[in-house]
Chains A and B, each alone.
Chain A
Amino acid sequence: MQLKERIMRCLGSDVLAITEYQGDIVVEVGKNRIRTVMEKLKNDPDLSMDFLSDVLGVDNKALYEKAKKKAKKKDEAEAEEPKGPPPPRFEVVYLLLSLKSNERMMVKVRVPEDDLEVPTVTDLWKAATWPEREAYDMFGIRFKGHPDLRRLLMWDEFPAYPLRKDYPLEGQGEERILIYDA
């Protein structure tokens, strides 16, 4: 059976969206279901996604703004504000691999800006320890239950999240701010 079908059979209604491009399957699931989904994917005998390659964050802010601009240009006359709540700004992507069948897949979780908390998967795979710390460091996404959620690449007093799209490439002059008292 194809990987896509097996994933659908294993996860069922937890799948919000499933896409395939160049053989890479991306499964989108809800934020509060991610723990259950990851456990299922790891332990299901048909899938056995037992190796976590990486965890990473994505900031979609610029993408949404671009889409908005495009839509406005298209029909300026009937330009209206989109209804409903805005789409969640951040994404956390988990790269999974099955050592048995050498198949890869991605699991994606959308994280809204006002609730930046995702359950950790460090107890399923210890490999998630530093990648989750890095996602926290770079995007400010907090991983609930992470044993040691500190900044990783930036220093502890750094006041911003540098990989967010609204952070300028040249920085905000943080290197000149010296903090002497903790």
Chain B
Amino acid sequence: MARDDYVKINIGPSHPAMHGTLRVIAETDGETIINADPEIGYLHRGVEKLGEHLTYHQFIPITDRLNYCSAIANNVSYEMAVEKLMGLEVPEKAQLIRLIMMELARIADHIVCIGILGVDLGAFTPFFYLFIQREEIYEIFEWYNGARLTNTFGRIGGVEADLPEDFEARWNELKPNLLKAIDETDKLLTHNRIWMDRTIGTTAFSPEDALNWGFTGPCLRACGVKRDLRKDEPYCLYDRFEFDIPVGKNGDVFDRYWVRMLEMYESIKIIDQAIEMYKEMPEDAPLMAKVPKVMKAPEQEIYSAIESPNGELGFYIKGDGSDKPYRIKIRPPCYMVYQAFPELVKGEMIADLIACLSSLNIIAGELDR
């Protein structure tokens, strides 16, 4: 068939099935996708340019607006990058509080991804079961620092406050409900005939291709590559915890879903251990490193990355001796994943395009910056 005979379908940038302002121009032959060209930049706010005109501290609230489903991971990633540039040593207790909050954020992020994936494939119930618990996690964030979504968590050199006194009680209250919700989702989806038919084998990807395209995080682990910066390049005391890295096999939509499900159980395990460790720490342990009032970074460049819920979230920062960064480059995990989108969906059905997009967890704020 000649090229002119393919039907071009424009999906987005404002469309109920697209997550945020994403746009895909798909060329289709019947229902089969011949080519899909993602167009990004609809949420481009010039975050990197803004960073060059703000001081190191002033940039923290802007990092909230990258991946707004897990703002805390972005905050900590940026703070760790600046601390590396300045050569600051963060006290252990602050690192532990960061770890607990980041794992909570990871659960919240995975809940969003799985819940929305279910909705996109027609399963509405898990969305409600999970989102009630997500709200509870956000209640904890609000309780700790006053914001639900845009947390602006932590400071450069540590964290602003100790955990609230009855944090453990609150976590013990949340944990059974959270486990129950995840179990219910598992029962509703994993062995569901419709779910399996829709997800297994859809947009499968080989590990070699995934590494070549720069995949990280759950999308890479779904392909069977056991790579997690929490284990491979430990930061924030992660090397003292016992947890598994779940991996998939085929790199299809089902595996991405399943890896995220298992990771939530692992995160709960980590938080349990972290609270035990937290209780052993002295109550008056320092929460902040010694930080100068006006922070001036040396004329150097560094790259620092953490395992955010979506994958490797890195910050390249170049200082120029003043109190403002000379250049900030953010390496968002889903940016690298999304560039392989045409290859992922080639030859699949239009409905699978939506399933694939949801399972990759593309967040427009992080993608466009």
Contacts and interface: CB of A to CB of B under 8 A. Distances in A.
A154 interface: yes
A37 interface: no
Interface in A18-62: 21-22, 24, 26, 50-54, 56, 58-59, 62
B49 A163 contact: yes
B44 A153 contact: yes
A16 interface: no
Contacts of A62: 320, 326
B84 A22 contact: yes
Contacts, number: 89
A13 B316 CA distance: 27
Contact of A106 (B85, B212, B301, B335): B301
Nearest to A151: B41
Contact of A53 (B41, B46, B318, B331): B331
Interface string A141-157: 00000000000111100
A182 interface: no
B214 A125 contact: yes
Nearest to B86: A22
A60 B302 CA distance: 16
Contacts of A163: 48-49
A51 B214 contact: yes
A112 interface: no
A99 B227 CA distance: 8
A106 B335 CA distance: 20
B320 A63 contact: yes
A56 B317 CA distance: 11
Interface in A76-128: 93, 95, 99, 102, 104, 106, 125-127
Mostly, the A contact residues are mixed
Contact of B331 (A51, A95, A106, A125): A95
Contacts of B146: none
Given A56-B316, A130-B336, A169-B49, A21 B214 contact: no
A129 B339 contact: yes
A125 B208 CA distance: 11
B336 A95 contact: no
B57 to A, nearest CB: 18
A66 interface: yes
Interface magnitude class on chain B: 35 or more
B233 A102 contact: yes
Contacts of B49: 162-163, 167, 169
A153 B369 CA distance: 9
Contacts of A155: 41
B44 A26 contact: no
Contacts of B214: 51-53, 125-127
B303 interface: yes
Nearest to A106: B303
Contacts of B85: 22
Contact of A56 (B233, B320, B329): B329
A102 B226 CA distance: 13
A38 to B, nearest CB: 14
B211 interface: yes
Given A125-B212, A127-B214, A154-B44, A95 B314 contact: yes
A155 B39 CA distance: 10
B53 interface: yes
Nearest to B318: A58
Contacts of B232: 102
Contacts of B368: 153
B335 A130 contact: yes
Nearest to B85: A22
Contacts of B318: 58
B58 interface: no
A130 B41 CA distance: 12
B213 interface: yes
Interface in B300-314: 300-303, 305, 312, 314
Interface in B194-225: 211-214
Interface string B327-339: 1010100011011
B41 A153 contact: yes
B312 A53 contact: yes
A93 B320 CA distance: 17
Contacts of A129: 339
Counting from the closest, the 10 A-B pairs by CB-CB distance are A127-B214, A153-B41, A130-B339, A56-B329, A153-B44, A21-B300, A54-B331, A126-B212, A126-B213, A102-B232
Given A21-B302, A125-B214, A126-B340, 6 more contacts: A24-B302, A53-B331, A95-B316, A104-B303, A154-B44, A162-B46
Interface of B: 40-41, 44, 46, 48-50, 52-53, 84-85, 87, 211-214, 227, 232-233, 298-303, 305, 312, 314, 316, 318, 320, 326-327, 329, 331, 335-336, 338-340, 368-369
15 contacts: A24-B301, A24-B303, A53-B312, A54-B314, A54-B316, A54-B331, A56-B316, A62-B320, A66-B320, A95-B303, A99-B211, A106-B301, A126-B212, A130-B335, A152-B40
